[in-house]
């Protein structure tokens, strides 16, 4: 089995230095194993609710509410829906050249 390259990071919850299996990106929180197992803070919710799959054990945040339950320190970004052309806002900054951004109705219809 090939050894995975590890990167040094500082946990955004407890401040402890840790090794992670991916390169940290500026502005993105990093969790040590202990804090990850305790569960994510509310600001991880992407706004459309639901569990995105996978489980590394432990409590992953309990009530993972929907759009209105996300942390209010996140800024909504004005966008135009790639499907219907409606002006809307999303709780993330879209990546230029990335996936098309959909309004809430088109996002739900695509599921």
Distance CA 64, CA 46 (A): 10
Higher per-residue pLDDT: 30 or 70: 30
Q: Residue 82 domain-assigned?
A: yes
Residue 95, domain member (yes or no): yes
Q: CA 17, CA 8: separation in Å to the nearest integer?
A: 7
pLDDT at residue 48 greater than cutoff 90: no
| Model confidence band, residue 4 (pLDDT cutoffs 50, 70, 90) | confident
Q: How many domains does the chain have?
A: 1
Phi and psi at residue 49, in whole multiples of 5°? 70, 180
33's enclosing H/E stretch is helix 33-38
Grade residue 87 by pLDDT with cuts at 50, 70 and 90.
very high
Can you read off the two tokens belonging to residue 54? Answer: 């996978």
* Residue 27, token pair as written in the block: 């502005």
Is 34 in contact with 19 (CB distance < 8 Å)? no
Whether 11 maps to a domain, the answer reads no
Q: How far apart are CA 83 and CA 11, in angstroms?
A: 38
pLDDT band of residue 35 (cuts 50, 70, 90) is confident
Quick one: DSSP state of residue 87? E
Whether residue 107 lies inside any domain: the answer is yes
Tell me what pLDDT residue 73 has: 67
Residues 100 and 83 sit within 8 Å (Cβ to Cβ): yes
CB atoms under 10 Å from CB of 70, counted, come to 19
Answer whether residue 106 is part of any domain: yes
With respect to residue 94, please indicate whether it lies within any of the assigned structural domains: yes
Q: Could you tell me the residue range of the domain that residue 98 belongs to?
A: 75-111
| Residue 101: inside a domain | yes
Residue 108 lies in a domain: yes
What confidence score (pLDDT) does residue 34 get?
Answer: 87
Mean pLDDT of 79-84: 93
Record the pTM. Answer: 0.35
pLDDT of residue 20 exceeding 70, the answer is yes
């Amino acid at each position: 089995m090939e050894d995975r390259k590890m990167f040094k990071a500082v946990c955004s919850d407890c401040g402890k230095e840790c090794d992670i299996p991916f390169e940290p990106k500026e502005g993105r929180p990093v969790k040590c194993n202990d804090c990850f197992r305790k569960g994510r803070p509310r600001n991880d919710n992407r706004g459309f609710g639901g569990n995105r799959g996978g489980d590394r054990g432990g409590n992953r945040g309990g009530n993972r509410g929907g759009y209105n339950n996300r942390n209010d320190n996140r800024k909504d970004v004005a966008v135009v829906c790639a499907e219907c052309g409606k002006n809307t806002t999303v709780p993330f900054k879209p990546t230029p050249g990335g996936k098309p951004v959909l309004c809430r109705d088109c996002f739900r219809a695509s599921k």
